[in-house]
Amino acid sequence: MIKKLTSQGNSAALIIDRQLLELLEINKDATVKVSVQGRKLIIEPFTDEERAKKMKESQRETMKKNAELFRRLSK
Protein backbone atom coordinates (compact mmCIF):
# COMPACT_ATOMS: atom_id res chain seq x y z
CA MET A 1 0.00 0.00 0.00
CA ILE A 2 1.32 3.43 -0.90
CA LYS A 3 0.29 6.42 1.21
CA LYS A 4 1.05 10.13 0.91
CA LEU A 5 1.94 12.28 3.90
CA THR A 6 -0.25 15.30 4.57
CA SER A 7 0.48 18.56 6.39
CA GLN A 8 -0.65 18.90 9.99
CA GLY A 9 0.55 22.26 11.33
CA ASN A 10 4.35 22.21 11.17
CA SER A 11 4.39 18.40 11.01
CA ALA A 12 3.60 15.66 8.54
CA ALA A 13 0.73 13.24 9.17
CA LEU A 14 0.00 9.77 7.84
CA ILE A 15 -3.68 8.96 7.45
CA ILE A 16 -4.49 5.38 8.50
CA ASP A 17 -7.63 4.12 6.76
CA ARG A 18 -10.41 2.44 8.69
CA GLN A 19 -9.60 -0.90 7.02
CA LEU A 20 -6.03 -0.77 8.38
CA LEU A 21 -7.31 0.15 11.84
CA GLU A 22 -9.61 -2.87 11.72
CA LEU A 23 -6.73 -5.15 10.64
CA LEU A 24 -4.67 -3.89 13.58
CA GLU A 25 -7.72 -4.24 15.87
CA ILE A 26 -7.40 -0.65 17.08
CA ASN A 27 -9.57 2.46 16.89
CA LYS A 28 -8.77 6.06 16.04
CA ASP A 29 -8.08 6.89 19.71
CA ALA A 30 -5.60 4.04 20.24
CA THR A 31 -2.09 4.57 21.54
CA VAL A 32 0.52 3.10 19.21
CA LYS A 33 4.25 2.50 19.34
CA VAL A 34 6.24 4.12 16.54
CA SER A 35 9.78 2.99 15.82
CA VAL A 36 12.29 3.13 12.99
CA GLN A 37 14.22 0.17 11.61
CA GLY A 38 16.65 1.38 9.00
CA ARG A 39 14.49 3.42 6.63
CA LYS A 40 11.25 1.72 7.73
CA LEU A 41 8.64 3.31 9.97
CA ILE A 42 7.03 0.67 12.20
CA ILE A 43 3.62 1.35 13.78
CA GLU A 44 2.35 -1.21 16.31
CA PRO A 45 -0.61 -1.31 18.67
CA PHE A 46 0.29 -0.63 22.31
CA THR A 47 -0.83 -3.78 24.15
CA ASP A 48 -2.67 -3.89 27.47
CA GLU A 49 0.38 -5.59 29.03
CA GLU A 50 2.67 -2.81 27.84
CA ARG A 51 0.20 -0.19 29.08
CA ALA A 52 0.06 -1.85 32.51
CA LYS A 53 3.87 -2.08 32.68
CA LYS A 54 4.23 1.60 31.76
CA MET A 55 1.62 2.54 34.38
CA LYS A 56 3.48 0.59 37.10
CA GLU A 57 6.77 2.22 36.12
CA SER A 58 5.14 5.63 36.26
CA GLN A 59 3.59 4.91 39.67
CA ARG A 60 6.93 3.63 41.04
CA GLU A 61 8.70 6.73 39.74
CA THR A 62 6.08 9.03 41.28
CA MET A 63 6.27 7.26 44.65
CA LYS A 64 10.07 7.46 44.65
CA LYS A 65 10.13 11.10 43.57
CA ASN A 66 7.49 12.17 46.13
CA ALA A 67 8.20 9.73 48.99
CA GLU A 68 8.91 12.45 51.54
CA LEU A 69 5.79 14.41 50.58
CA PHE A 70 3.60 11.29 50.88
CA ARG A 71 5.16 10.51 54.27
CA ARG A 72 4.31 13.98 55.56
CA LEU A 73 0.78 13.88 54.17
CA SER A 74 0.07 10.52 55.80
CA LYS A 75 0.59 11.91 59.33
What's the pLDDT tens digit per position in 59-71? Answer: 989 988 888 888 8
Residue among 23, 17, 21 nearest 2 (CA):
17
CATH topology of domain 6-73: Pemi-like Protein 1; Chain: D (2.10.260)
**Predicted pLDDT of residue 63:** 87
pLDDT at residue 31 in the model: 87
- List pLDDT tens digits, range 5-38: 999 999 999 999 999 999 988 888 888 999 999 9
**Structure confidence at residue 24 (pLDDT):** 86
Q: Name the residue ranges covered by the structural domains of the chain.
A: 6-73
pTM of the predicted model as reported, rounded to 2 decimal places? 0.57
Is 40 a residue whose pLDDT tops 90? yes
